[in-house]
Amino acid sequence: MSTRTKITIGGVAVGLLLWPLIGFWFSLLVVLGVPTAAYLMLDPSQRRRLRRISRKEIGR
């Protein structure tokens, strides 16, 4: 199982657990907002490296 699949499954699980406790829209905000905030906290060089790695560079 790839890392991206594990992250997706974890996000869905967190969303399903939060849904009955805090409501659908707030749980959706948490599930989408936390990874977005983490990405925005990276410096530009780290963001470039992350994008390059996630595209699986051609030739490797």
- What is d(CA 23, CA 25) in angstroms, rounded to the nearest whole number? 6
Enclosing domain of residue 42 = 3-54
Total domain count, the chain: 1
User: Which of residues 40 and 56 earns the better pLDDT score?
Assistant: 40
Q: Which of 13-17, 24-28, 33-37, 43-47 shows the highest mean pLDDT? A: 43-47
pLDDT in tens, 39-51: 899 999 988 888 8
**Is 7 within a domain?**
yes
Record the pTM: 0.57
- What is d(CA 17, CA 25) in angstroms, rounded to the nearest whole number? 13
**Is 59 within a domain?**
no
**Is 18 within a domain?**
yes
**Is 38 within a domain?**
yes
**Is 60 within a domain?**
no
Q: Dihedral (C-alpha) 42, 45, 48, 50: value to the nearest 10 degrees?
A: -50
Q: What is the pLDDT averaged over residues 18-22?
A: 84
**Is 8 within a domain?**
yes
Question: In Å, what is the CA distance from 7 to each residue of 13, 20, 27, 35, 40?
Answer: 10, 21, 16, 10, 18
| DSSP classification of residue 42 | S
